[in-house]
Structure 1
Amino acid sequence: MASDPVHLAYPNESAGYREARNELLDAEIDLRRRIEHVAALRRALPPGGAPPQDYVFERTDAHGRPEQVKLSELFEDHPTIILYSFMYGPERDLPCNGCTHILDALDGTARHANQVLPLYIVARSPLVRLEAWGRVRGWRFFRFLSAEGNSYTSDYFGNTTGVSDAMRTERGYQPGENWDQPVFNVFTKRDGTVRHSWGTELVYVAEEPGQNHRAVDMVDPLWNLLDMTPEGRGTDWFPKVWYD
C-alpha cells in the first residue's frame, strides 16, 4: 500500500491546520489537473469559422507611421495571433478600469508573448487615442489596432451590439443600450486560410452566486493574487485607473 506523501510543515502549525491544509492541497492538485484538461480541450477544438471579411485595421508601422493592415496580415510569420478587445470605445472618456489593470499587468508579459505569437490590443477608438493612453500608462510592449472603421468588435463580441436578441432578452439587456466587453479572441492561419479558434465566451455567461470578476481570470494576476489571502477578492472593491 502506498504511503501518504510527505508534506511541508510550517513553524508552529497545529494538527488541525495541517489536516485542513492537506485537504486544500488535494483540491489544488485537482484544480491543476482540471486547468490542464480544459487547456487540452481548447487545443483540440476543430477549426473555427472563417471571418466574414478580412478586416482592415489601423496600426503604427516600424517607422512610427500609421498604416492600414488586414487581419490576414497580422500573423507575420506566425500561425496564431491573439486580439484583446480593450474597453476604450469612442464613447468613453477614460478606458475601463478593469481592462486597464489587466493591461498594466500584461504589458510585461507581452514582451515575452510576442516572441511566440503576436498579441494585439484592439478598440474602436482612433489609433492616436489608444497609443496616447499607452504612453500615459507606461506600456511598452503592446501592439495597438484601431477598429474604428470596421465591424470586428461587434462581430467578435468586443461589444454587445453583436449579441443575439435571444441572449439580450435572457440577460435583461435594454433595447438600444450597448457597451464594450473585455474579450480575447484567438485566430489561426493555416494554408493561407484565417479561422477563428477560440474566444472568452465566459464574459457573456452569467456569474454564479458569490463569483466576481472571473471572465478572464486565467490572465488576471490581481484577482488570483487576492485569492491567496483569507480576505479573498471580496465584493466591494474594484481596481481604479488612478489612486491617490
Structure 2
Amino acid sequence: MSTNKQPLPEVVSSEAWKSALDQLLIKEKELTRARDALNAERRRLPMMKVAKDYIFQGELGQVSLLDLFEGRRQLIVYHFMFAPEWKAGCDGCSWAVDAMTHPAHLHARDTTLVLVSRAPREKLMQYWSRMGWSNPLPWYSSYGSDFNVDFGATTDHGERHGVSVFLRDGNDIYRTYYTGARGVEYLGSLWTYLDLTPFGRQETWEDSPEGWPQTEPYVWNRRHDEYGD
C-alpha cells in the first residue's frame, strides 16, 4: 500500500506566515512598478502606417479594417487561430475568449476589441454557438484576405495567436503594438487590454506623453449597462 502523500506548503505559525507574506508583497509591489514603467514605455512606441486595404466578413457583411474600429480611436485585434480547414477553433484561443472582459468597459475608453480568424464566417459562428459565448465581441473572418499573413497570424509554419493594436487618426490607420506566444497569457481584464494601447488606461496617475487623453481614476468606470451611448 502506498504511503505517498500529496506535497503541501509548509505549515507555520500565524506570525511566520505574516512575515513570509510581507516579504513576498515587497517583491509583488516591485513587479507592479516595473510593469507600470514598461506600460509607459509601450505608450511611447513609434507606429507604422497601414497602407494596404483589407476586407473582412462580419455580421453586417463585407467590412474594411477601418470599419472594425466602430468609430473609436483604438482597435485591439485578437488573432484567433482558426484555419479554414479546421473543424474547431484553437483551444488556447478559446481560453482567451472565455476570459475576455465585457467590451462596454473598453468602449468607454474609446477602444474596440475584436476577434479575427481565417476560417469562413459561418464556421466562426458555429463555433461561437458551440462555446456558448454570450460576450458581444465581434468576430470577423479574414478569409481570402492577406491580413493574417501580413500581420504575422499565419506563417509558413501555420496559424499563430497574438494581439495587434491599431490607432486611428481620421481615416488613417497605424499599427502600434503586437504580442504573441506567452505575451497573451496575462490578458483578460480590461486593464490588461488597455495597457497594450497607445493611450493606456487614460488615467492621470499614468506616465504618458503630454496631451494624451486622461481623467481621474475611479470616476469614469461604470457597470457595463450604465455607460449609455
Q: TM-score scaled by structure 1? A: 0.66
Structure 1 residue 111: Cα displacement? 4.5
Runs of 4+ in structure 1 off by over 4 angstroms are none
In the other structure, the counterpart of 1:113 is 106
Cα deviation 1:81-140 (Å, max 9, x = unaligned):
11111011113222111111111121x433433444221110000011111211111222
The amino acid that maps onto 1:73 is: D
Equivalent pairs counted in the alignment come to 176
In the other structure, the counterpart of 2:5 is none
Q: Is the CA contact 1:187–1:195 (under 8 Å) kept in the aligned structure 2? A: yes
In the other structure, the counterpart of 2:52 is 53
In the other structure, the counterpart of 2:160 is 181
The amino acid that maps onto 2:63 is: V
CA distance in 2, matches of 1:190, 1:119: 17
Structure 1 residue 153: Cα displacement? 0.6
Q: Which has the higher strand share?
A: 2
Where in structure 2 are the equivalents of 1:79-98 lying within 5 Å?
79-98=73-92
In the other structure, the counterpart of 2:130 is 136
1:145 to 132, 140, 148: 140
Q: Is the CA contact 1:54–1:72 (under 8 Å) kept in the aligned structure 2? A: no
Structure 2 unmatched ranges of 5 or more: 1-11, 190-229
Q: TM-score scaled by structure 2? A: 0.71
Report percent identity of matched pairs: 28
Secondary structure, counterpart of 2:36 in structure 1: helix
Q: Which has the higher helix share?
A: 1
CA distance in 1, matches of 2:139, 2:14: 52
Q: Does 1:16 align with 2:19?
A: no
Q: Does 1:156 align with 2:151?
A: yes
Instruction: Give the direction of change, closer, same or farther, for the CA distance of 1:111–1:150 in structure 2 (3 Å limit).
Output: same
CA distance in 1, matches of 2:125, 2:160: 19
Instruction: Give the direction of change, closer, same or farther, for the CA distance of 1:111–1:129 in structure 2 (3 Å limit).
Output: farther
Structure 1 residue 72: Cα displacement? 1.9
The amino acid that maps onto 1:104 is: D
Structure 1 residue 142: Cα displacement? 1.3
Where in structure 2 are the equivalents of 1:233-244 lying within 5 Å?
none
In the other structure, the counterpart of 2:169 is 190
Structure 1 residue 220: Cα displacement? 4.6
